A and B are shown apart, each in its own frame.
Chain A
Amino acid sequence: MSVLLAFLAAALFGTGTFLLLQRRLSRIIIGIGLIGHGSNVLLLTSGGGRGLPPIIDSADPTDFSDPLPQALALTSIVITFGVTAFLFALGYRSWKITHDDIVEDDVEDRYIARRVVVDQMVAEGEAAAREIELDEDRG
């Protein structure tokens, strides 16, 4: 692991995160792609420094790059691809329904948020009513 590659991973994670924090599914997918690449950089470099392709008899095994992280990275790339393909399908579906790919806020959660406003209104109304009642008492 060199500082440069660590920086690369960091940069990929950073830009990816920036994209993740938005409403558009297409940008989010790009963001996921970027942090996915970032995690693969980490995975690839977790076996140590660079080396030669790990193919027996092609070179001295001590010069090989670590094959296990490669296998793991390959697995993770393929899995991420599969899941991303499904996410595409969701985006596609979203477009079919709403002609957009915005990830809307959850309806029920918005409902609760509005209820809080109502609660505050009611509380204020009651406080005012109590105030009036006390005034009448004094008067």
Chain B
Amino acid sequence: MIGAVDFATWGGHLAADALAPDRGSIDVLVPFSVIVPLVAAAVSVIAARNRIAQRVIGLGALLAVLVANVVLLVRVDDMAEGIAVSQAGGWAAPLGISLVVDRLAAIMLVVSSLMLVSVLVFAIGQQAEERRFAAFHPVYLVLAAGVSASFITGDLFNLFVAFEMMLVASYVLLTLGGRPGQVRSGMSYVVISLIASTFFITALALVYSATGTVNMAELSERIPQLPSGVQTGFSLLLIIVFGIKAGLFPLFFWLPDSYPTAPNAVTAIFAGLLTKVGVYAIIRTQLLLFPDDARQGTLLLVVAALTMITGVLGAIAQDDLQRILSFHIISHIGYMIFGLALFTLAGIAGAIFYIVHHIVVKTALFLVAGMIERKAGSDRLSRIGGMVRSAPMIAVLFAFPALSIVGIPPFSGFVAKFALVDAGISVEQWPIVAVALAVSLLTMYVMGRIWAGAFWGTCEDAAVSDRLRPGQTRVPLLMTLSTAVVVAASIALVVFAGPMYDLAERAAVDLLVPQNYVQQVLGATK
């Protein structure tokens, strides 16, 4: 009975009570990660002329969200049912919008809020776009809210709205500064995203037309009643719609053209979070909404392989650091889809672990790329070099996430890759395992090129090499610190790989048994 009336009896509770171990009050924390950044964004807009106030508000809100999310994760994981449900407006499920945090969502919330805080600190340290544009803080907060809203929503249409919050914020952040490259790539990014959104609306219209509901729990019950072709069609349509945001082959074109043009900090958060929201949506909808025979295992495996290969080849072809890393995101999205496409416990757990690892590590790499650009004044590998001598700290900060993303043991990427390969071999999906391993070799080549290009060798570009003398250009302390925090998080993923993987596996168990989700969301009304 999570109806509106129930909440009446809890009147007067303070948010602090949420820390108490009682079932209802933990649900209060569910919308926290969306609503707090939104209120903060509103205040931040009003305080547009005062950058200090904006910083305090932004950091304060995101830190509060981080704390709340950690509490949420711990409590949700403690619960037997492993799920916290809050009905927006207090209206029971089919009437209102259900906000649901299961283990997967909780994991995503914690990781994303940690990244959001770190990158914001980095952006403040950078003293660049953050300082120049009053719009930065409110828009960044909306991005945070949109990402969280995508994770917690239990309503397909609301997922569209959450996506739009996130995307519109990303459009603005991407083009902050309005440089020619940004405008050009911004136009294609916005256009492609708008097309994706229109197709999402189309998919929603078709789904509502066929089932009469957009509540995911209800859809989970109703979609299996549809004719099999329609089920498959919906499944494909949603994969494609989310695949555009996730950067799947052959829908990823917008990504490598647009990400590198954004300000560094923005690229870092995009790289870490945005595509993963797409992957999250694919995982969520495939597992929750569709019965076994409508899931697209084989197709996804093929797509995963092609995504891995084209992504890494793209990375090899580039010279610009940001573009290399951007192509590289695509390649790694393929790994996550590989895990999902197996539709086994081990595969999904591996995919979840991979997502967490990739968010942290990729953010770290882009932050380091930002530091490189600040230090060297360029991010073209052909123009920079020798930074292992001029900036050993940056070299160290780069080395850890780079080794991790290649999958060198014992770093987190290894555990993630191991989990996936292990899962793939146990169901004897040889081709995809072979592709995954081969791509991982090419990844090593890519990272080796970056290392050899940026850190080793000498710098032939006179203008750049002047800057590369030790102490010539100082990288602000806050940038280094925030990057170090993210790198430390990636190392923590190694040390706590055991508990973290256990958690991912529990989340995967939840996902494979959607009945629990459905019951928790709709239970009150039945």
Residues of A near any B CB (own CB < 8 A): 1, 20, 25, 28, 32, 35-36, 38-40, 42-43, 45-47, 68-69, 72, 75-76, 79-80, 82-84, 86-87, 90-91, 93-94, 97-98, 103-104, 106-109, 112, 115
Contact = CB atoms under 8 A, between A and B. Distances in A.
Interface string B58-87: 000000000000000000000000000000
Contacts of A69: 205, 208
A11 B489 CA distance: 52
Contacts of A103: 184, 187-188, 191
A94 B171 contact: no
Nearest to B172: A86
Contacts of B1: none
Contacts of B175: 90, 93
Contacts of B187: 25, 87, 90-91, 94, 103
Interface string B171-197: 110010010110111111011001101
Contact of A72 (B157, B172, B323): B157
Nearest to B260: A108
B161 A82 contact: no
**Most A C-beta atoms less than 10 A away, residue of B164, B199, B320:** B164
A28 B201 CA distance: 19
B340 interface: no
Contacts of B181: 107
B15 interface: no
B129 to A, nearest CB: 16
Contact of A87 (B191, B317, B323): B191
A76 B160 contact: yes
A42 B202 contact: yes
A75 B161 contact: yes
A35 to B, nearest CB: 5
Contacts of A87: 187, 190-191, 194
Contact of A86 (B168, B185, B198, B201): B168
Q: Which of A25, A72, A90 has the most CB of B within 10 A?
A: A90
A20 B181 CA distance: 21
B183 A39 contact: no
A91 B191 CA distance: 11
B205 A83 contact: no
Contacts of B186: 90
Contacts of B197: 79-80, 83
Interface residues of B, number: 39
A90 B190 contact: yes
A97 B205 CA distance: 39
Interface string B192-230: 001101110110111011000010000000000000000
A108 B191 contact: no
Interface in B114-167: 157, 160-161, 164, 167
B373 interface: no
Contacts of A43: 201, 204-205, 208
B422 interface: no
A83 B171 CA distance: 9
A108 B188 CA distance: 14
Contacts of B161: 75, 79
Nearest to A76: B201
B458 to A, nearest CB: 24
Nearest to B186: A90
22 contacts: A32-B194, A35-B198, A39-B201, A39-B205, A40-B201, A42-B202, A43-B201, A43-B204, A43-B208, A46-B205, A46-B206, A68-B208, A72-B157, A72-B208, A72-B214, A80-B197, A91-B187, A97-B178, A97-B183, A98-B180, A109-B257, A112-B317
Nearest to A98: B180
B318 interface: yes
Given A76-B160, A106-B185, A108-B320, A39 B202 contact: yes
A1 B205 CA distance: 11
